[in-house]
Amino acid sequence: MSKRVSVLGHGRSDSPSGVELFFSAKPKPRMTIAKILKKKALFSLPDGVINDLDRMWLELRMQKKMIDKSGIVALAIQHLFDDYKKNKENSIIFKSR
């Protein structure tokens, strides 16, 4: 029967192992793509728009569509950008007040 390997560090590599591996490694922060690509912005919106946004969000939640209010606003703004790029002077945003 052969002897067991020494745990005192003889013949060890530079990388931690065993208990050292578990306790010495700092946990990497979990970042999702959504967190990386989002920036916080503050805008003032009319009460009616806020109420419509809340109503839409609640209706979507009741239909099990998991989207947050920021996602709804981002999607709406993206559609305005796409419409403007395509239609310029005939776009919804160009024709607004």
Residue 27 counted as domain residue:
no
Residue 86 counted as domain residue:
yes
- Statement: residue 19 has pLDDT above 60: yes
**pLDDT for residue 34:** 53
**pLDDT for residue 58:** 97
Let me know: does 84 contact 91? Beta carbons within 8 Å.
yes
| Burial readout 46-81 (b: 16 or more C-beta within 10 A, e: otherwise) | eeeeeeeeeeebeebeeeeeeeeeeeeeeeeeeeee
Residue 2 counted as domain residue:
no
H or E stretch including 19?
helix 18-24
Looking up tokens 């709406």 gives: 76
Q: How far is CA 77 from CA 2, 7, 13, in A?
A: 71, 61, 55
Domain holding 71, by residue range, is 32-95
pTM equals 0.60
**pLDDT for residue 39:** 84
Residue 65 counted as domain residue:
yes
Residue 43 counted as domain residue:
yes
pLDDT tens, 77-91?
A: 999 999 999 999 999
Residue 6 counted as domain residue:
no
Nearest to 43 by CA among 77, 13, 15: 77
Residue 18 counted as domain residue:
no
In the chain, how many domains are there?
Answer: 1
Q: Tell me the mean pLDDT in the region 41-50.
A: 95
- The larger pLDDT score, comparing residue 3 to residue 88, is at 88
Residue 49 counted as domain residue:
yes
Residue 97's SS3 state is: coil
